[in-house]
Amino acid sequence: MKNPKEELTYLMIKPDGVRKGLIGEIIRRLEQRDLKIVALEMFQPTLEQIDEHYPKDETWIARLGQKTFKTCEKYNVSPKDEFGTDNELEMGKLVRGWLVNYMVSAPLVKMIVQGTHAVDMVRKIVGPTLPNLAEMGTIRGDFSVDSPLIANAEHRAVMNLAHASETPEEAAHEIEHWFGKDAVHAYKRFGVDE
Ligand code: IDP
Ligand code: MG
């Protein structure tokens, strides 16, 4: 087994993160926590690349629909009236479509991040999905006020600045998808690795 201090994760600065000028701030927050950037690039993704990035299995898509229904319930919105469906999978497909369109709306910055518990650490630094609920001190909590109520009403994805892998398995898939094999640049950080 690899040393747990060398765990890898994948982070991508989304269109709103790039357009708000937060590339430097996001990287700074990662480096500040002793995480290492070991691959980095700005690029314009294609629809196909983004479509492959987000899971296509029905469980993941239905979960996305389920979360949208929870928001509808909380704010007394009828999904049938607003979106024409009360089926979780159908709703999930709709949100996934919004998400793909949003992700190709500007260049993105992709990176591989390495360090102790990198997957959990990066998720913690980025914060939970919904900026209106994300704590201050997280990237999503500090720099976005978007909410699913507004996003759903405007039939678009929640804009939350950055994507970060949720599990080591997701990280492995995303690193392979966006960088292929052998993209990691090995180096020792002063004060961290030696
Ligand atoms: P994550 O980005 O925190 O991992 P996921 O549940 O994997 O969140 O959802 C993927 C993306 O889908 C979110 O980052 C957000 O942009 C978008 N999204 C999630 N829930 C909703 C919703 O209820 N309405 C619109 N967009 C959503
Ligand atoms: Mg996710």
> Which of 53, 117, 155, 163 does the annotation list as catalytic?
163
- Can you tell me the distance from the alpha carbon of 1 to that of 39, in angstroms, rounded to the nearest whole number? 22
- Name which residue sits closest to atom 23 of ligand 1, judged by CA: 68
- Name which residue sits closest to atom 8 of ligand 1, judged by CA: 129
Identify whether the C-beta of residue 147 lies closer than 8 Å to the C-beta of residue 140: no
Centre of ligand 1 from the C-alpha of residue 8, in Å: 22
Clarify whether 163 is annotated catalytic. yes
The pTM assigned to this predicted structure is 0.96
Identify whether the C-beta of residue 96 lies closer than 8 Å to the C-beta of residue 90: no
Coil/strand/helix, residue 126: helix
- Can you tell me the distance from the alpha carbon of 83 to that of 85, in angstroms, rounded to the nearest whole number? 6
Res 4: pLDDT: 81
Residue 166 tokens, joined:
């949720």
Identify whether the C-beta of residue 102 lies closer than 8 Å to the C-beta of residue 116: no
Looking at this protein, which amino acid is placed at residue 10?
Answer: Y
Res 1: pLDDT: 62
The alpha carbon of residue 11 and the mean position of all alpha carbons in its chain are separated, in whole angstroms, by 7
Coil/strand/helix, residue 123: helix
Residue 27 tokens, joined:
């990287």
Averages of pLDDT over runs of 10 residues in the chain (194 residues) are 87 98 98 97 98 96 96 95 96 97 98 97 98 98 96 96 97 97 95 88
Q: Which domains does the chain have, with CATH numbers?
A: 4-179 (3.30.70.141)
